Amino acid sequence: MLKEFRDFAMRGNVVDLAIGLIMGAAFGKIVNSLVSDVIMPPIGLLLGKVDFSSLFISLTGIHYDSIAAAKAAGAATLNYGAFIDTIVNFVIVAFAVFLLVKQINKLTAKFSPGQAPPSPTTKECPYCISTIALKASRCPHCTATLPKTA
């Protein structure tokens, strides 16, 4: 059973999945930093010096100066600023994944093995080397009668 588990764990797709998971976690940290450190501060500045990560509503009705103060007092809070940050984070990750999948689909369409290349619709005139329609019996350029093809 141990050998069977080792064979399963060392199979290519499991290792690829593990690598993808690790890369995804690292990419998530980069995007999180991009959102919280680069994107949201200018948006907050444009909207009147608002720090989205500190926006919250105290559900107890008592005003607190910060989320930390509310949590220290044991108050329930609705942290909608953190939710806005998370939504922006998701949109950026989703767009990056969309671009990645789009590129992968484009590459696999070009290089997929076993897929027959498209049928030609033109051929070359043997006399004047012009490109002509596949079904042509005379060349429109040099007017030569073309040999019959099977």
pTM of the model: 0.51
Query: Residue 132 in 3-state DSSP?
Result: strand
What does the DSSP 8-state code read for residue 117?
A: P
Task: Encode the chain (150 residues) as per-residue pLDDT tens digits.
Answer: 788 877 776 766 777 788 888 888 888 888 778 877 887 788 778 877 777 778 888 888 888 888 888 888 888 888 888 888 888 878 887 887 788 788 878 877 766 666 666 778 899 998 999 999 888 889 998 998 888 765
d(CA 48, CA 55): 13
Query: How far apart, in Å, are the Cα atoms of 29 and each of 15, 57, 101?
Result: 22, 27, 20
What is the pLDDT, as a whole number, of residue 23?
85
What is the pLDDT, as a whole number, of residue 131?
92
What is the pLDDT, as a whole number, of residue 67?
87
d(CA 59, CA 20): 40
Domains along the sequence of the chain with CATH = 2-116 (1.10.1200.120), 118-150 (no CATH)
In this structure, the chain runs to a length of 150
- Strand extents, DSSP E, 47-129: 57-58, 77-78, 122-124
What is the pLDDT, as a whole number, of residue 41?
80
d(CA 38, CA 90): 15
Separation of CA 72 from chain center: 40
